[in-house]
């Protein structure tokens, strides 16, 4: 009996001892866990505090930055920082910018437009935390998208019979690697001219007799007609991609009162349900007769040149009276990235800043060339330089062979930018990309024949994209009339 009691007592003592040991282990583990967590929090906290500023987030609209200047890159550091200067910031490839520091972070404002399809690298060194005083740096890499250029591929002559293959509007990237080649976005038996805004393509299409009408296609939907005056001649089709507007000049046909259209300008918005093009009117609601016109880049406004050479600035959406910009012989186009219009007169070239109305002479650098070269199309550059086509005719053989060269003239002198590589091929015309980075050069192959359209083209035409800085041809695509040039 006593033995059993002793055993029970011993068992209980053993259980108590085990429990005490486990309790001690639990307490030790608790203390160790708390100490370990406290130590970890202390070390991590100290490391976080003693770390200098670094990039928390960054924001830029790269698609807009290739279309217009003044776009911003905001770098948000993970802690407030002391002001920095432009000397602390580097951007590769080199591009002009202004820098500011505020509550939102470091803001880089790109004063020009960025290059298409380019990898940019931004480094801000010498950054100092305003609360910690610790040094750090901010780094951010981003890429700009490639541009899409549309060209018109005419196949067979205008007079070809029913077996004539359809003409096509093609969309192509600037480099082969950036896109999957070339895509057909619009087809019709005879396309005289086209314009694109977003996913809307509008074309002047011709019937077998050569009469023109407007056809519209939105995305992948079916082609629809745009109501225009019967029997009218349509030309100078252009678009404003930012406003989604299209415009075309009309001659022939008459309005409801029987008034005949003579170089009348019509605009239309595909989004508007009526599907009708509206006539643009001049002073006092009188018809405006235009010999040339352009959409002002990035707006719905129009610059139109009347038959008396007077230039007008008007907005068909806002309405109101046009603003007269003075008489000039020729509209040369807009300088890349802004609303500065280049006009030419017998006395020289001038620029008109449409935001202020200021007119200033624009002396262009002249290329030093062989006097036997024939000067052709000239395009002004924002820095006062110029790009010009020169034709060369070789009479040494029985049949004269024409070729072309494009030269850049600027403060540093004259340099050759592009030369037709195949003997006998020549440049029809060229224009600058909207960001001023590339030239789109229309080339006519040797032995090409005119296609017989009212706006003539040639068989086997190609458009090449030439980097203005290096002269490198990034790509050549079929077709002509690239939308940069219209």
What are the structure tokens assigned to 14, written together? 């053993």
- Which residue in the set 62, 64, 69, 78 belongs to the binding site for another protein (CB under 8 A)? 78
CB of 123 to another protein, least distance (A): 20
314, 317, 320, 326: CA torsion to nearest 10: 0
Query: What mask, x for binding another protein by CB under 8 A, covers residues 115 to 144?
Result: ----------------x-------------
DSSP conformational letter for 180: S
Find the shortest distance in angstroms from Cβ 54 to another protein: 10
- Given 8, 9, 14, 33, the residue binding another protein (CB under 8 A): 33
Q: 378: number of CA atoms within 13 Å, CB side?
A: 19
Stretch that binds another protein, among 43-51, 231-239, 312-320, 399-407 (CB under 8 A): 43-51
49 in contact with another protein (CB under 8 A): yes
Binding mask 52-71 for another protein (x = CB under 8 A): ----x---------------
Q: Which two tokens stand for residue 379?
A: 């395009």
Provide, rounded to whole angstroms, the least separation between the CB of residue 36 and another protein.
Answer: 9
Residue among 71, 79, 172, 350 that touches another protein (CB under 8 A): 79
Q: Pick from 6, 7, 26, 375: which binds another protein (CB under 8 A)?
A: 26
Contact 177, 145 (CB under 8 A): no
Residue whose CB is less far from another protein, 60 or 215: 60
Min separation Cβ 124 and another protein, Å: 17
**Dihedrals phi, psi of 426, to nearest 5 degrees:** -145, 165
Contacts of 432 (CB under 8 A, 6+ apart): 336, 379, 381, 387, 438, 439, 440, 468, 484
* Residue of 276, 263, 273 whose CA lies nearest to 304: 263
Residue number with CB closer to another protein (78 or 88): 78
C-alpha span between 404 and 413 (Å, rounded): 20
- Min CB(24)–another protein separation in Å: 9
Who contacts 29 (Cβ-Cβ below 8 Å, separation ≥6)? none
Q: Is 421 in the site for another protein (CB under 8 A)?
A: no
Interaction between residue 23 and another protein (CB under 8 A)? yes
| Using rule CB under 8 A, residue 80 touches another protein | yes
> Contact between 345 and another protein (CB under 8 A)?
no
- Taking a C-beta distance cutoff of 8 angstroms, is the pair 155, 170 a contact? no
Contact call for residue 22 and another protein (CB under 8 A): yes
Alpha-carbon span 58 to 73, nearest angstrom:
7
Q: Are 258 and 237 in contact (CB under 8 A)?
A: no
- Of the candidate residues 4, 94, 102, 103, the single one contacting another protein (CB under 8 A): 103
* Residue 37 lies near another protein (rule: CB under 8 A): yes
Query: Is residue 4 at the binding interface for another protein, with CB under 8 A as the rule?
Result: no
> Closest approach of Cβ 38 to another protein, in Å?
6
Looking at the DSSP bridge assignments, the partners of residue 298 are none
Q: CA-based angle 154:156:158, to the nearest 5? A: 80
Q: CA–CA separation, 304 vs 83, rounded Å?
A: 47
To another protein, the closest distance from the beta carbon of 317 in angstroms equals 30
Complex with another protein: residue 38 or 329, whichever CB lies closer = 38
Site for another protein contains 102 (CB under 8 A) = no
Q: Does 41 bind another protein (CB under 8 A)?
A: yes
Residue 35's contacts (CB-CB under 8 Å, 6 or more residues apart) are none
Question: In the bound complex, what is the minimum distance in angstroms from residue 118's beta carbon to another protein?
Answer: 26
Number of residues that bind another protein (CB under 8 A): 26
Encoded one letter per residue, x for contact with another protein by CB under 8 A and - for no contact, window 452-481 reads ------------------------------
Contact between 38 and another protein (CB under 8 A)?
yes
Are 264 and 251 contacting, i.e. CB atoms less than 8 angstroms apart? yes
Nearer to another protein, 40 or 422 (CB): 40
Evaluate whether 251 touches 233 at the Cβ level (below 8 Å): yes
Characterize the bridge pairing of strands 348-353 and 340-345.
Answer: antiparallel
Q: Which residues pair with 246 in a beta bridge?
A: 239, 268
Chain positions contacting another protein, by CB under 8 A: 18-19, 22-23, 25-26, 29-30, 33-34, 37-38, 40-41, 44-45, 47-49, 51, 56, 78-80, 103, 131
């Amino acid at each position: 009996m006593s033995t059993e009691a002793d055993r029970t007592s011993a068992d209980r003592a053993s259980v108590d001892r085990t429990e005490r040991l486990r309790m001690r282990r639990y307490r030790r583990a608790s203390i160790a866990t708390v100490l370990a967590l406290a130590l970890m929090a202390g070390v991590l906290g100290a490391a976080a505090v003693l770390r200098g500023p670094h990039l928390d987030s960054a924001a830029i609209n790269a698609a807009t930055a290739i279309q217009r200047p003044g776009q911003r890159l905001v770098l948000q550091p993970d802690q407030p920082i002391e002001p920095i200067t432009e000397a602390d910031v580097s951007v590769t490839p080199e591009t002009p910018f202004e820098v500011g520091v505020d509550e939102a972070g470091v803001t880089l404002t790109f004063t020009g437009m960025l290059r298409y399809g380019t990898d940019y690298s931004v480094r801000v060194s010498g950054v100092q935390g305003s609360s910690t005083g610790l040094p750090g740096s901010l780094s951010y890499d981003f890429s700009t998208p490639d541009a899409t250029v549309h060209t018109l591929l005419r196949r067979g002559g205008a007079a070809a019979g029913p077996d004539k293959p359809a003409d096509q509007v093609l969309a192509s990237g600037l480099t082969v690697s950036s896109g999957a080649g070339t895509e057909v976005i619009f087809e019709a038996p005879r396309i005289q001219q086209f314009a694109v805004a977003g996913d809307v393509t509008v074309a002047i299409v011709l019937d077998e007799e050569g009469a023109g009408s407007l056809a519209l296609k939105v995305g992948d939907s079916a082609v629809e007609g745009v109501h225009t005056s019967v029997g009218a001649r349509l030309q100078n089709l252009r678009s404003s991609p930012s406003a989604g507007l299209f415009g075309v000049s009309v001659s022939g046909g008459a309005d409801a009162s029987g008034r005949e259209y003579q170089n009348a300008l019509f605009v239309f918005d595909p989004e508007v349900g009526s599907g009708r093009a509206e006539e643009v009117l001049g002073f006092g609601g009188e018809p405006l007769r235009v010999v040339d016109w352009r959409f002002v880049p990035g707006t719905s406004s129009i610059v139109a040149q009347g038959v008396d050479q007077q230039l007008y600035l008007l907005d068909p959406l806002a309405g109101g009276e046009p603003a007269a910009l003075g008489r000039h012989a020729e509209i040369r186009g807009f300088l890349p990235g802004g609303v500065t219009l280049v006009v030419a007169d017998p006395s020289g070239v001038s620029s008109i800043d449409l935001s202020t109305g200021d007119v200033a002479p624009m002396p262009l650098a002249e290329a030093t060339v062989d006097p036997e070269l024939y000067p052709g199309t000239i395009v002004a550059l924002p820095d006062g330089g110029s790009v010009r086509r020169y034709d060369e005719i070789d009479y040494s053989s029985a049949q004269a062979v024409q070729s072309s060269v494009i030269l850049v003239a600027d403060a540093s002198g004259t340099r050759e930018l592009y030369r037709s590589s195949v003997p006998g091929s020549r440049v029809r015309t060229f224009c600058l990309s909207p960001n001023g980075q590339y030239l789109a050069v229309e080339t006519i192959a040797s032995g090409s024949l005119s296609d017989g359209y009212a706006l003539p083209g040639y068989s086997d035409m190609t458009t090449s994209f030439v980097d203005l800085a290096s002269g490198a041809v990034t790509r050549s695509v079929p077709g002509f009339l690239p939308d940069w040039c219209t």
